Copies of this chain bind each other. A is one copy, B any other.
Protein backbone atom coordinates (compact mmCIF):
# COMPACT_ATOMS: atom_id res chain seq x y z
CA UNK A 1 0.00 0.00 0.00
CA UNK A 2 2.84 2.46 0.77
CA UNK A 3 4.79 4.26 -1.93
CA UNK A 4 8.58 3.77 -2.29
CA UNK A 5 10.50 5.74 0.37
CA UNK A 6 10.88 9.33 -0.86
CA UNK A 7 14.21 10.10 0.88
CA UNK A 8 16.60 7.22 0.12
CA UNK A 9 19.65 8.85 1.75
CA UNK A 10 18.06 10.17 4.97
CA UNK A 11 16.57 8.59 8.09
CA UNK A 12 12.84 8.39 7.41
CA UNK A 13 10.46 9.86 9.97
CA UNK A 14 6.67 9.63 9.84
CA UNK A 15 4.84 12.55 11.42
CA UNK A 16 1.13 12.25 12.21
CA UNK A 17 -0.52 15.60 13.00
CA UNK A 18 0.61 18.93 11.57
CA UNK A 19 -0.74 21.53 13.98
CA UNK A 20 1.43 24.07 15.83
CA UNK A 21 3.57 21.39 17.45
CA UNK A 22 3.84 19.14 14.39
CA UNK A 23 5.17 22.13 12.46
CA UNK A 24 7.74 22.88 15.16
CA UNK A 25 8.93 19.26 14.99
CA UNK A 26 9.19 19.46 11.20
CA UNK A 27 11.31 22.62 11.31
CA UNK A 28 13.80 21.02 13.69
CA UNK A 29 13.90 17.53 12.16
CA UNK A 30 14.08 18.65 8.51
CA UNK A 31 17.88 19.13 8.67
CA UNK A 32 18.28 15.57 9.99
CA UNK A 33 15.61 13.47 8.29
CA UNK A 34 13.16 12.93 5.44
CA UNK A 35 9.63 13.54 6.73
CA UNK A 36 6.48 11.75 5.64
CA UNK A 37 3.65 13.82 7.03
CA UNK A 38 0.00 12.90 7.53
CA UNK A 39 -2.77 15.04 8.97
CA UNK A 40 -6.33 13.70 8.71
CA UNK A 41 -7.95 17.06 9.41
CA UNK A 42 -6.00 19.52 7.25
CA UNK A 43 -7.06 20.27 3.65
CA UNK A 44 -4.37 19.00 1.24
CA UNK A 45 -3.52 22.51 -0.01
CA UNK A 46 -3.03 23.83 3.55
CA UNK A 47 -0.81 20.90 4.46
CA UNK A 48 1.27 21.32 1.30
CA UNK A 49 1.76 25.04 1.96
CA UNK A 50 2.77 24.42 5.59
CA UNK A 51 5.18 21.67 4.57
CA UNK A 52 6.89 23.90 2.01
CA UNK A 53 7.21 26.70 4.60
CA UNK A 54 8.45 24.53 7.47
CA UNK A 55 10.46 21.70 5.98
CA UNK A 56 11.34 22.76 2.43
CA UNK A 57 12.17 19.81 0.16
CA UNK A 58 12.68 17.37 3.05
CA UNK A 59 9.01 16.55 3.63
CA UNK A 60 6.12 15.04 1.67
CA UNK A 61 2.41 14.83 2.47
CA UNK A 62 1.16 11.25 2.52
CA UNK A 63 -1.56 8.91 3.72
CA UNK A 64 -1.46 7.31 7.17
CA UNK A 65 -0.02 4.03 5.82
CA UNK A 66 2.98 5.81 4.26
CA UNK A 67 3.70 7.71 7.51
CA UNK A 68 3.36 4.43 9.44
CA UNK A 69 5.83 2.74 7.10
CA UNK A 70 8.74 4.85 8.47
CA UNK A 71 11.04 3.27 11.09
CA UNK A 72 10.29 6.23 13.42
CA UNK A 73 6.74 7.59 13.73
CA UNK A 74 5.96 10.72 15.78
CA UNK A 75 2.40 11.34 16.94
CA UNK A 76 1.73 15.08 17.25
CA UNK A 77 -2.02 14.86 17.77
CA UNK A 78 -4.08 16.41 20.61
CA UNK A 79 -4.07 14.25 23.76
CA UNK A 80 -7.86 13.91 23.51
CA UNK A 81 -7.65 12.20 20.09
CA UNK A 82 -4.53 10.12 20.76
CA UNK A 83 -6.42 6.86 21.28
CA UNK A 84 -8.15 7.25 17.92
CA UNK A 85 -4.87 8.09 16.19
CA UNK A 86 -3.04 5.13 17.75
CA UNK A 87 -5.80 2.69 16.79
CA UNK A 88 -5.72 3.94 13.21
CA UNK A 89 -1.94 3.71 13.08
CA UNK A 90 -1.41 0.31 14.74
CA UNK A 91 -2.37 -2.00 11.82
CA UNK A 92 0.10 -0.24 9.47
CA UNK A 93 3.21 -0.40 11.66
CA UNK A 94 6.15 -2.74 10.91
CA UNK A 95 7.82 -4.76 13.67
CA UNK A 96 10.62 -2.76 15.29
CA UNK A 97 9.14 0.64 14.49
CA UNK A 98 9.66 3.29 17.19
CA UNK A 99 6.55 5.32 18.03
CA UNK A 100 6.99 8.65 19.89
CA UNK A 101 4.26 10.88 21.30
CA UNK A 102 4.64 14.49 22.44
CA UNK A 103 1.55 15.24 24.57
CA UNK A 104 1.33 17.43 27.70
CA UNK A 105 0.21 14.52 29.90
CA UNK A 106 1.82 11.12 30.06
CA UNK A 107 -0.06 8.64 32.31
CA UNK A 108 -3.12 8.24 30.07
CA UNK A 109 -1.23 8.40 26.74
CA UNK A 110 1.41 5.90 28.00
CA UNK A 111 -1.40 3.47 28.87
CA UNK A 112 -2.95 3.95 25.44
CA UNK A 113 0.35 3.43 23.61
CA UNK A 114 1.18 0.30 25.61
CA UNK A 115 -2.30 -1.17 25.23
CA UNK A 116 -2.93 -0.37 21.57
CA UNK A 117 0.43 -0.73 19.82
CA UNK A 118 1.65 -4.18 18.71
CA UNK A 119 4.12 -5.71 21.20
CA UNK A 120 6.92 -5.66 18.59
CA UNK A 121 6.65 -1.85 18.27
CA UNK A 122 8.94 0.25 20.51
CA UNK A 123 7.59 3.24 22.47
CA UNK A 124 9.08 6.52 23.69
CA UNK A 125 6.64 8.85 25.47
CA UNK A 126 7.88 12.45 25.53
CA UNK A 127 6.76 15.90 26.52
CA UNK A 128 8.82 18.76 25.10
CA UNK A 129 8.56 21.37 27.89
CA UNK A 130 8.34 24.20 25.39
CA UNK A 131 6.14 25.40 22.60
CA UNK A 132 6.65 27.29 19.34
CA UNK A 133 6.91 30.48 21.45
CA UNK A 134 9.94 29.50 23.58
CA UNK A 135 11.55 27.74 20.62
CA UNK A 136 11.34 30.96 18.59
CA UNK A 137 12.55 33.14 21.47
CA UNK A 138 16.22 32.21 21.39
CA UNK A 139 18.85 32.43 18.66
CA UNK A 140 19.78 28.87 19.60
CA UNK A 141 16.34 27.59 18.57
CA UNK A 142 15.45 24.58 20.71
CA UNK A 143 19.03 23.93 21.88
CA UNK A 144 19.13 23.82 25.71
CA UNK A 145 15.34 23.57 26.06
CA UNK A 146 13.91 20.84 28.30
CA UNK A 147 12.15 17.65 27.21
CA UNK A 148 10.68 15.06 29.58
CA UNK A 149 11.24 11.56 28.27
CA UNK A 150 9.74 8.21 29.37
CA UNK A 151 11.28 5.22 27.52
CA UNK A 152 8.40 2.73 27.68
CA UNK A 153 9.46 -0.13 25.44
CA UNK A 154 12.59 -1.25 23.52
CA UNK A 155 16.23 -0.26 23.07
CA UNK A 156 15.64 2.14 20.18
CA UNK A 157 13.59 4.27 22.58
CA UNK A 158 16.76 4.81 24.62
CA UNK A 159 18.81 5.58 21.51
CA UNK A 160 16.21 8.15 20.45
CA UNK A 161 16.54 9.83 23.85
CA UNK A 162 20.30 10.04 23.24
CA UNK A 163 19.65 11.66 19.83
CA UNK A 164 17.41 14.28 21.47
CA UNK A 165 20.32 15.15 23.74
CA UNK A 166 23.27 14.96 21.33
CA UNK A 167 21.60 15.52 17.97
CA UNK A 168 19.19 18.29 18.92
CA UNK A 169 20.97 19.62 22.03
CA UNK A 170 17.86 19.30 24.20
CA UNK A 171 18.04 19.07 27.99
CA UNK A 172 16.65 15.53 28.34
CA UNK A 173 14.92 14.73 31.66
CA UNK A 174 14.38 10.97 32.09
CA UNK A 175 11.22 10.35 34.08
CA UNK A 176 8.10 8.18 34.43
CA UNK A 177 4.57 9.07 33.27
CA UNK A 178 3.45 9.25 36.93
CA UNK A 179 6.31 11.55 38.08
CA UNK A 180 5.85 13.68 34.97
CA UNK A 181 2.13 14.17 35.51
CA UNK A 182 2.62 15.01 39.19
CA UNK A 183 5.18 17.72 38.33
CA UNK A 184 3.17 19.10 35.40
CA UNK A 185 -0.03 19.30 37.45
CA UNK A 186 1.77 22.08 39.33
CA UNK A 187 4.02 23.47 36.59
CA UNK A 188 1.53 23.71 33.73
CA UNK A 189 -1.64 23.46 35.82
CA UNK A 190 -0.80 26.54 37.89
CA UNK A 191 0.68 28.54 34.99
CA UNK A 192 -2.36 28.03 32.75
CA UNK A 193 -4.84 28.53 35.58
CA UNK A 194 -3.27 31.84 36.62
CA UNK A 195 -2.90 32.91 32.99
CA UNK A 196 -6.58 32.22 32.21
CA UNK A 197 -7.70 34.31 35.19
CA UNK A 198 -5.31 37.20 34.43
CA UNK A 199 -6.34 37.29 30.76
CA UNK A 200 -9.99 37.47 31.91
CA UNK A 201 -9.04 40.50 34.06
CA UNK A 202 -7.65 42.49 31.14
CA UNK A 203 -7.11 45.29 30.38
CA UNK A 204 -4.35 45.33 33.01
CA UNK A 205 -1.76 48.13 33.36
CA UNK A 206 1.13 48.02 30.89
CA UNK A 207 2.96 51.29 31.62
CA UNK A 208 2.81 51.69 35.40
CA UNK A 209 4.16 48.24 36.27
CA UNK A 210 6.74 46.55 38.45
CA UNK A 211 9.40 44.17 37.19
CA UNK A 212 7.76 41.22 38.97
CA UNK A 213 4.39 42.02 37.35
CA UNK A 214 6.13 42.27 33.96
CA UNK A 215 7.56 38.76 34.51
CA UNK A 216 4.11 37.49 35.47
CA UNK A 217 2.60 38.92 32.29
CA UNK A 218 5.49 37.55 30.23
CA UNK A 219 4.57 34.09 31.58
CA UNK A 220 0.93 34.78 30.63
CA UNK A 221 2.02 35.89 27.16
CA UNK A 222 3.76 32.57 26.54
CA UNK A 223 0.65 30.45 27.08
CA UNK A 224 -2.26 32.78 26.24
CA UNK A 225 -2.41 31.69 22.58
CA UNK A 226 -2.10 27.96 23.28
CA UNK A 227 -4.84 25.92 21.64
CA UNK A 228 -7.87 25.15 23.87
CA UNK A 229 -6.93 21.45 23.55
CA UNK A 230 -3.67 22.20 25.36
CA UNK A 231 -5.49 23.87 28.26
CA UNK A 232 -7.92 20.97 28.52
CA UNK A 233 -5.17 18.34 28.38
CA UNK A 234 -3.33 20.16 31.17
CA UNK A 235 -6.29 20.84 33.44
CA UNK A 236 -8.43 17.75 32.77
CA UNK A 237 -6.41 14.91 31.23
CA UNK A 238 -3.71 15.25 33.90
CA UNK A 239 -4.98 13.08 36.78
CA UNK A 240 -3.37 15.35 39.42
CA UNK A 241 -4.43 18.75 38.06
CA UNK A 242 -7.75 18.96 39.89
CA UNK A 243 -6.08 18.37 43.28
CA UNK A 244 -3.50 21.11 42.58
CA UNK A 245 -6.31 23.49 41.58
CA UNK A 246 -8.24 22.71 44.75
CA UNK A 247 -5.15 23.37 46.84
CA UNK A 248 -4.52 26.69 45.05
CA UNK A 249 -8.13 27.80 45.59
CA UNK A 250 -8.16 26.67 49.24
CA UNK A 251 -4.96 28.61 50.01
CA UNK A 252 -6.24 31.65 48.12
CA UNK A 253 -9.50 31.55 50.09
CA UNK A 254 -7.58 31.29 53.37
CA UNK A 255 -5.42 34.27 52.45
CA UNK A 256 -8.49 36.26 51.47
CA UNK A 257 -10.15 35.40 54.78
CA UNK A 258 -7.05 36.48 56.68
CA UNK A 259 -6.93 39.81 54.85
CA UNK A 260 -10.67 40.39 55.39
CA UNK A 261 -10.43 39.52 59.10
CA UNK A 262 -7.52 41.92 59.59
CA UNK A 263 -9.40 44.63 57.71
CA UNK A 264 -12.27 44.36 60.21
CA UNK A 265 -10.02 45.74 62.93
CA UNK A 266 -10.07 49.06 61.07
CA UNK A 267 -13.57 50.34 61.65
CA UNK A 268 -13.48 52.32 58.39
CA UNK A 269 -11.81 51.74 55.04
CA UNK A 270 -8.10 52.57 55.28
CA UNK A 271 -8.45 55.43 52.78
CA UNK A 272 -11.25 57.18 54.70
CA UNK A 273 -8.83 59.46 56.49
CA UNK A 274 -5.25 59.91 57.58
CA UNK A 275 -5.81 58.32 61.00
CA UNK A 276 -6.64 54.93 59.54
CA UNK A 277 -3.10 54.52 58.24
CA UNK A 278 -1.45 55.09 61.61
CA UNK A 279 -0.18 51.89 63.21
Contact = CB atoms under 8 A, between A and B. Distances in A.
Given A183-B208, A236-B259, A256-B245, A279 B84 contact: yes
A260 to B, nearest CB: 8
Contacts of A200: 251, 255
A8 interface: no
Interface residues of A, number: 87
A7 interface: no
Given A191-B216, A213-B219, A83 B275 contact: yes
Given A108-B270, A239-B270, A222 B218 contact: no
Contacts of A197: 248, 251-252, 255
7 contacts: A83-B278, A109-B277, A129-B209, A187-B208, A190-B204, A215-B216, A236-B262
A39 interface: no
A260 B249 CA distance: 13
A129 B210 CA distance: 5
A184 interface: yes
A148 B173 CA distance: 44
A234 B177 CA distance: 41
Question: Counting chain B CB atoms within 10 Å of each CB, which of A83, A210, A245 scores highest?
Answer: A210
Contact of A269 (B78, B239, B277): B239
Question: Counting chain B CB atoms within 10 Å of each CB, which of A193, A194, A212, A232 scores highest?
Answer: A212
A37 to B, nearest CB: 21
Contacts of A83: 274-275, 277-278
Interface in A226-254: 232, 235-237, 239, 242, 244-245, 247-249, 251-253
Given A108-B271, A196-B255, A270-B108, A277 B245 contact: no
Given A180-B208, A205-B186, A278 B81 contact: yes
Given A197-B248, A278-B83, A213 B190 contact: yes
Given A219-B216, A222-B212, A81 B274 contact: no
B111 A273 contact: yes
Nearest to A223: B212
Contacts of A239: 269-271
Contacts of A269: 239
Contact of A188 (B109, B213, B256): B213
Interface string A167-209: 0000001010001100110111011011111101100110111
A65 to B, nearest CB: 21
A222 B256 CA distance: 22
A119 interface: no
Contacts of A275: 83
